Amino acid sequence: MASKKVQAFTKHQSPWAATWTALRDLFRASQDIPDPDPTINLAGVHIAITGARSGLGAALARQLALQGAQLTLISRQSPLSLAKELSEISQAPCVALSCDLSDLQQVNQLITLLSQGPALNSIVLNAGLMAQSKRRTPQGLEEMFAVHCAANILLMEGLYDAQALVQRQDGALPQVLVTSSEAHRSSPDFSPPGLLDVPDFGMRDGIRWYGYSKLLFLAWVHSFAPDHPEWSIHTLCPGPINSNIAREAPTWVRPFLGPLMRLLFPSPSKAARPLLYHLSTPSDSPHAPTYLHMQAKKEIDRRAQDPKVAQSLNNQLRPLCRALSSPEEPGSSSSSVPDARAGRSSPQEYLPTDRSSEQ
Ligand SMILES: NC(=O)c1ccc[n+]([C@@H]2O[C@H](COP(=O)([O-])OP(=O)(O)OC[C@H]3O[C@@H](n4cnc5c(N)ncnc54)[C@H](OP(=O)(O)O)[C@@H]3O)[C@@H](O)[C@H]2O)c1
């Protein structure tokens, strides 16, 4: 009984347990991959990053711009000011796209934009949120499941079908990097027939449903990768980050959590190291998907290794995806959902004015 209590506290069963576990892991972490080399020149490499406006995504974008990469920054609110800043420091173009990934109709439109734009070499699926209660998306999904799992599945399948990711000039394989979380291990158990049905949750157990959304996408990616060896796919947990992820924390928690995160959690630029390592040392031959926890190699949770989970996800998401491509998609008539066909909920594209002529 006592050991069960200890286990519950040292995993991600509540926000405080997750914070404690993250801190403990920081001091225990081993290092299986080296630090990335910031002098590697990424000129001619085009990388898209979701969740690029703040935290990990923004820090990664900054470093990649310094190394000369061409960037497409994507987030819910426009990352235009960051794109402008980065196009000043990089010799390569930097484009800002705003897209709400919780709305699968917008994700579809994003796929079209990315497929019709300049060829991509890598995409970093990094957007994320820690919701404090269940919220429904325009398609009726739970928001974290939509952003961390459904949107990413749609994006990967759409970009694959459109052959939007291409090899680098030096022959390196197109890359997909997935920002996951160790919290996937604390996902509640689930039964494959009802994967889209997330129950109501509150602040205490929100972290476990966050873990659930991360676990399901890990299961899907690790089952997709072996059938798509022409893509190099890596998944990872960056470890704790002093970022905006706790932006929904209740007001009474913020006076404690903010200083704790600033004092003890690594900066986003430090947490970006494993992503930078993969982007700077791409593979030129097929490999099994990998999972890193910070810079240490780990196995994913055994539930995410079950191919039946990915199969069930595909079966349950398919009707939703079919409905999205038909003119009467669910949600299009809802008053809370702007009419995509009128262009109001389409992803918006912004080009920093001084660089737009280079596109
Ligand atoms: N922070 C940690 O301790 C920690 C630990 C493990 C894993 N992670 C993972 O690391 C990734 C980056 O998180 P972070 O810590 O850098 O948090 P962050 O500072 O809050 O950044 C999250 C980014 O995701 C974007 N985003 C959220 N919902 C979106 C939506 N519906 N559509 C489009 N973009 C959306 C946000 O865009 P807007 O700014 O426009 O809203 C923001 O740019 C996440 O996947 C997170 O789960 C974080």
Query: What mean pLDDT is predicted for residues 338-342?
Result: 29
Atom of ligand 1 nearest to the CA of 50: 34
Atom of ligand 1 nearest to the CA of 22: 3
Atom of ligand 1 nearest to the CA of 130: 47
Q: Please tell me the distance between residue 148's alpha carbon and the centre of ligand 1 in angstroms.
A: 10
Q: In what order do the strands lie in the sheet with 290-293?
A: 296-297, 290-293, 232-237, 175-179, 122-125, 46-50, 70-75, 94-98, 348-350
Query: What mean pLDDT is predicted for residues 153-170?
Result: 97
pTM, rounded to two decimals: 0.91
Q: What are phi and psi of 292, to 5 degrees?
A: -115, 140
Among 66, 69, 62, smallest CA distance to 38 is for 66
pLDDT of residue 16: 78
Q: Is the pLDDT of residue 359 over 80?
A: no
23-27, 55-59, 350-354: which has the minimum mean pLDDT? 350-354
Residue 348 identity (one-letter amino acid): Q
Atom of ligand 1 nearest to the CA of 143: 31
pLDDT band at 253 (very low <50, low <70, confident <90, very high): confident
pLDDT of residue 20: 81
pLDDT digits (tens, 9 = 90+) for 79-127: 999 999 999 988 899 999 999 999 999 999 999 999 999 999 999 999 9
Query: What mean pLDDT is predicted for residues 322-343?
Result: 45
User: From atom 36 of ligand 1, which residue's Cα is the shortest distance away?
Assistant: 51
Q: Is the pLDDT of residue 339 over 70?
A: no
pLDDT of residue 352: 47
pLDDT digits (tens, 9 = 90+) for 198-229: 999 998 899 999 999 999 999 999 999 999 99
Q: Please tell me the distance between residue 5's alpha carbon and the centre of ligand 1 in angstroms.
A: 30
Strands 94-98 and 122-125: unpaired
Q: Please tell me the distance between residue 4's alpha carbon and the centre of ligand 1 in angstroms.
A: 31
Average per-residue pLDDT for the chain? 88
Q: Of the residues 11, 16, 49, 54, which should be mutated to test ligand 1's pocket, given the most ligand atoms within 8 Å of the CB?
A: 54
pLDDT digits (tens, 9 = 90+) for 255-277: 988 898 999 999 999 999 999 99
Query: What mean pLDDT is predicted for residues 126-152?
Result: 97
* In the block, residue with structure tokens 């798509």: 228
pLDDT of residue 346: 55
Q: Please tell me the distance between residue 54's alpha carbon and the centre of ligand 1 in angstroms.
A: 7
pLDDT digits (tens, 9 = 90+) for 34-74: 999 999 999 999 999 999 999 999 999 999 999 999 999 99
Query: What mean pLDDT is predicted for residues 323-328?
Result: 68
Q: Please tell me the distance between residue 121's alpha carbon and the centre of ligand 1 in angstroms.
A: 22
Q: Is the pLDDT of residue 356 over 70?
A: no
Q: Taking the domains of the chain in order of start, what are their residue ranges? A: 33-350
pLDDT band at 177 (very low <50, low <70, confident <90, very high): very high
pLDDT of residue 21: 83
Q: Is the pLDDT of residue 1 over 50?
A: no
Query: What mean pLDDT is predicted for residues 158-175?
Result: 97
Burial 4-17 (b: 16+ CB within 10 A, else e): eeeeeeebbbbbeb
Q: Of the residues 63, 71, 126, 275, which should be mutated to test ligand 1's pocket, given the most ligand atoms within 8 Å of the CB?
A: 126
The CA distance from 99 to 147, in Å, is 11
Q: Is the pLDDT of residue 333 over 90?
A: no
Burial 332-356 (b: 16+ CB within 10 A, else e): beeeebbebeeeebbbebbbbeebe
Q: Is the pLDDT of residue 325 over 90?
A: no
Around ligand 1, the residues with Cβ closer than 6 Å are: 51-57, 75-77, 99-102, 126-129, 147, 179, 181, 237-238, 240-241, 243-245, 268
Contact present, 130 and 246 (Cβ < 8 Å): yes
User: From atom 7 of ligand 1, which residue's Cα is the shortest distance away?
Assistant: 181
User: From atom 8 of ligand 1, which residue's Cα is the shortest distance away?
Assistant: 181
pLDDT of residue 315: 95
For 33-350, CATH gives 3.40.50.720
Residue 13 CA, chain-centre distance (Å), reads 22
pLDDT of residue 355: 37
User: Higher confidence at residue 5 or residue 107?
Assistant: 107
Q: Is the pLDDT of residue 139 over 80?
A: yes
User: From atom 25 of ligand 1, which residue's Cα is the shortest distance away?
Assistant: 51
Q: Please tell me the distance between residue 326's alpha carbon and the centre of ligand 1 in angstroms.
A: 30
Q: Please tell me the distance between residue 285's alpha carbon and the centre of ligand 1 in angstroms.
A: 31
